[in-house]
Chains A and B, each alone.
Chain A
Amino acid sequence: MRRILIDSEKCLGCKNCSIACMQSHRGEDGVAGLNLSSQELESRNTVLMNSKKQYKPLFCRHCSKPGCAKSCMSGAMVKNPETGLVEYDYEKCAACFMCVMNCPFGVLKPDRASGTYVVKCDFCADKGSNPECVKNCPTGAIKVEEVTTV
């Protein structure tokens, strides 16, 4: 499968990945019009800082053993055996947020504005090619590569 690989040492915490993610999922083109005060905008990724003040990018791994899918009681969160992506179906989701509790890395969150769905990386599946976060990373801290473990 294709996975976003992370080189955290290259991360400068510019949050371009987060802006790109918000942009990619807001349903309109053009970063210039992005209203970054809007509560509706959500980034699937984020950058954490550890106690040594190093940046640690937090991106959905589409895990081979996804804790989120393994706790989903509505069938909304499913690992696609063909693409390897953990796909999320808004319609099916019952907003129980078991997946949020069960992601061992703390990637998932409920949406901020309505609290009715899960903010989950979809690999910008509708955009073709690479996810927008990867395209917009200025340092090459994230890149997409084919990996063997699905």
Chain B
Amino acid sequence: MKHVIIGVGAAGIVAANTISKHRPNDQIVMISADDAVYSRCMLHKYIGGGRSVEALSFVSPNFFEARNIVWRKGISVTGIDTAAKTVSFDGGTETYDKLLIATGAKSALPPIEGVKDCSGVYGLRDLADATAIRDKAAGAEKIVIVGAGLVGLDAAYGLIEMGKKPMVIDMAKSVLSANLDERAAEVYQTKFEEAGCVFRFESKVSKVRSDGAGNLSCMILGSGEEIPCDLLIIAVGINPESKLLPGKPDKYLKVGDDSVFAAGDATGLSSSWPSAMEQGEVAALNMCGIETVYEECLAQRNTVNFFGIASVSVGRFLATDGDTLDVRVDKGRYQKIVINDGVPAGVILQGDISRCGFWQYLIRNNVNIEKIPRSVWKVSFADAYGLNQDGEYEWVK
């Protein structure tokens, strides 16, 4: 059996590892536009100079050799022929028995007039983006980041480490609005501001202008205000790279006939590093004939760690009518639990995230905690403590 995996991101790599574990004699070919394996969640550390390209890798250096994987790097797949079971690319084709499309996503580009006509505008998605930003930023002083989400702040953090003082623009009222409430967000905003960052909220970029030689020179806000700018980083989200997918993924992550699967951001399903890993594993198991159903993860679950302040947010962290909200603030801690009908719907934990992982379990599995006769702050795995015969923990009712 020959497995072809397009993409060497989290989903592709986990899939390859899973196939090699369960079907050590099968043939695995990986094809990627990238010519290095790297974790895109760490690109800002590359910009900031904290990590080399090698240190961005999330696999061991002999990952491919150890598993007899053929890796065709620097190749962009242009098409799939499901009837012939081939993938084609510039300069050749590859046949497959089972195919996994794990092509990831691309930075979303908002409609900004003039972007196409000048250089100096980048997303932050690939190593190539990070390299370009780093090179350009070295000589830039007026750097603007559009988007104060995790990627935007990652970029800002990397640039701060380079000694830059970027401006960050967002349409929302606070940073990290998809991940944190205003109170938790403000803690980070203050830290970024102290480090020299300037924020413009409830604003958007409508236009950019070049200096005449094709170099970005200024950007214009929706309000009409002109801001000089020599490097613009767009971090407003992603668009799944799904053009190769013959159809939508089913519960086995099959996307066409029985031979074609998808995993990771390309699927358009929940998008995060752990989700991509989970999807990669499920798809790979199905490719090996081990029938496995993919259960969609919580759309909102993330960690934030800037300036030594860690936060975890899971689920629906903004309370609405009918919810009970528990808040606890002390000694640099901010903790918030939204409960609906006895079931935790979401949490934000900031400052102290020690041993907090059970919250995701409770939220994801709709566990009613009202029956536990103790304060919500004392809820833990202890009240559902179980062990199986091999000594692994299990949640018991």
Are A and B close enough to touch in the complex, i.e. CB under 8 Å? yes
Please give the residue numbers on chain A whose beta carbons come within 8 Å of chain B beta carbons, in ascending order: 3-6, 8, 46, 48-51, 54, 56, 58, 61, 63-64, 67, 70-75, 81, 92, 94-98, 100-110, 112, 114-116, 145, 147-149
CB-nearest residue of chain B to A114: B308
- Is B380 interfacial (CB-CB < 8 Å)? yes
Question: How distant is the Cα of A81 from the Cα of B55 in the complex, in angstroms?
Answer: 23
In angstroms, how far is the closest chain A Cβ from the Cβ of B176?
Answer: 14
CB-nearest residue of chain A to B280: A70
Whether B372 contacts A103 by the Cβ 8 Å rule is no
A50: chain B residues within 8 A (beta carbon): 380, 382-383, 385
CB-nearest residue of chain A to B41: A73
Q: Binding site of A, secondary structure by majority: helix, strand, loop or mixed?
A: loop
- Is B387 interfacial (CB-CB < 8 Å)? yes
For chain B, the bracket of interface size reads: 35 or more
Give the contacting residue for A148; candidates B41, B308, B385, B390; CB below 8 A: B390
B13-24 interface bits toward A, Cβ cutoff 8 Å, 1 = contact, 0 = none: 000000001000
Could you list 28 A-B pairs, sorted by A, with CB under 8 Å?
A: A5-B387, A8-B387, A51-B373, A51-B383, A58-B355, A61-B393, A63-B393, A67-B357, A73-B58, A75-B39, A75-B58, A94-B42, A100-B303, A100-B356, A100-B357, A101-B302, A101-B303, A101-B353, A102-B274, A103-B358, A105-B357, A110-B310, A110-B353, A112-B354, A114-B308, A145-B391, A147-B391, A149-B392
- Is B294 interfacial (CB-CB < 8 Å)? no
In angstroms, how far is the closest chain B Cβ from the Cβ of A60?
Answer: 10
With A104-B393, A115-B305 known, 8 other A-B pairs at CB within 8 A are A48-B382, A50-B385, A64-B392, A74-B39, A75-B39, A95-B305, A104-B358, A105-B357
A54: chain B residues within 8 A (beta carbon): 382
A5: chain B residues within 8 A (beta carbon): 387, 391
B395: chain A residues within 8 A (beta carbon): 104
Question: How distant is the Cα of A5 from the Cα of B60 in the complex, in angstroms?
Answer: 31
Known: A63-B392, A106-B380. A51 touches B355 (CB 8 A): no
Give the contacting residue for B303; candidates A64, A96, A106, A107; CB below 8 A: A96
- Is B230 interfacial (CB-CB < 8 Å)? no
Interface residues in B329-377 (C-beta closer than 8 Å to A): 353-361, 372-374
Whether B312 contacts A101 by the Cβ 8 Å rule is yes
Give the contacting residue for A94; candidates B45, B308, B381; CB below 8 A: B45
- Is B64 interfacial (CB-CB < 8 Å)? no
Whether B381 contacts A105 by the Cβ 8 Å rule is yes
Known: A48-B382, A49-B382, A149-B390. A96 touches B41 (CB 8 A): yes
CB-nearest residue of chain B to A6: B387
Whether B357 contacts A106 by the Cβ 8 Å rule is yes
Whether B305 contacts A51 by the Cβ 8 Å rule is no
A56: chain B residues within 8 A (beta carbon): 381-382, 385
Interface residues in B289-337 (C-beta closer than 8 Å to A): 301-303, 305, 308-310, 312, 314
Whether B312 contacts A100 by the Cβ 8 Å rule is yes
Give the contacting residue for A101; candidates B314, B378, B383; CB below 8 A: B314
Whether A75 contacts B354 by the Cβ 8 Å rule is no
Whether A73 contacts B383 by the Cβ 8 Å rule is no
